Amino acid sequence: MKLFYWKSPAGNFGDDLNLWLWDRFLPGWREWDEQRTLVGVGTILNTRNLPDAGSYLVLGSGSGFGQLPDLNANSEWDIRFVRGPLTAEKMGLGMEKFATDPAALISRLPEFSGLSERKGIAFIPHCHSDVSPYYDWQTICENAGLRYISPREEARTVIEQIARSEKVITESMHGAILADAFRIPWKAVSQVANFNNFKWQDWAASLEMNVEITPLPAVQTTEAAPTPRGVRGLIFRLKGKKPKLVDREPSVEEITSTQSRLIKALTDLSRQEFNLSDKSILDAQLDTIERIFSETIADYSVRGSQ
């Protein structure tokens, strides 16, 4: 069986954990149906990302980008569960077809239990924010009294750092997913221009939560292009068109000012109330995922032996 997940060029632990997660949860999966593709952890249920495969096995993936795949097309779909109820609804599936993000089950792996004492509040940017040349996250976090965790480090390293935190402020959704699974209070923030609110709400709804996402100060790297003048400009406005956005290079002063505002915003956030799901709801969803994984192993092991 082949595996599909999103591979970020810069690296992103929430995607890269697919490299070893399935070997832990589905022993022997690589020897299963060679014609089928396992669709892994991530917001990848869309026609832009999915490979053109004859058949798919979906175990906890989510939607949120692009056009949804057509389940009635030629491909064969074995959807055991999706990330949340919003994805299930969009895909026309029953509400019994969602659980929560399977990465949360990592909290039950023995190597991540009994870690050292939890200390400090951590901050995890989105992988796109992390590669921005305009933010020195290490310095920003130090000045805000936070511990910086790069989402581009090796996945196990990031997960261990999360598990050793008292609280987590995160723009990375899997930062919140893992923190919540380890019962560490978390707070969601946004900074990247294309921040995907849908996937956050989908995951939160899977645990019967409402999540509020706090916007952080950001350097403006685009601006509206000049509108046409004269008659062309009049026609442009009458048609209700909006100017296109073009790239702009922020000044040193703007970058410095934004970093100062970021320090203040993160300092203020660290003193506010954090989020945590209901443990009984989380445990029930993780139990459901473990049951589905056991059923999947039984089904595909039998197929492989025939």
Fold of 108-278: Rossmann fold (3.40.50)
For the chain, which residues make up each domain, given as ranges?
Answer: 2-103+281-305, 108-278
The string of pLDDT tens digits covering residues 122-158 is 999 999 999 999 999 999 999 999 999 999 999 999 9
CA-closest candidate to residue 84, choices 69, 94, 99 = 99
pTM given for the model:
0.90
The string of pLDDT tens digits covering residues 224-244 is 556 556 666 656 566 666 656
169 membership: H or E segment, kind and range: strand 167-170
Instruction: Report whether 145 contacts 270 (CB < 8 A).
Output: yes
CA-closest candidate to residue 1, choices 306, 304, 305 = 304
Instruction: Report whether 184 contacts 118 (CB < 8 A).
Output: yes
**pLDDT classification of 58: cutoffs 50, 70, 90:** very high
Count the Cβ atoms, other than its own, within 10 Å of residue 180: 25
Mean pLDDT within 11-35: 96
103 burial (CB, 10 Å; 0-12 / 13-18 / 19+) is buried
Residue 213: strand pairing partners: 188
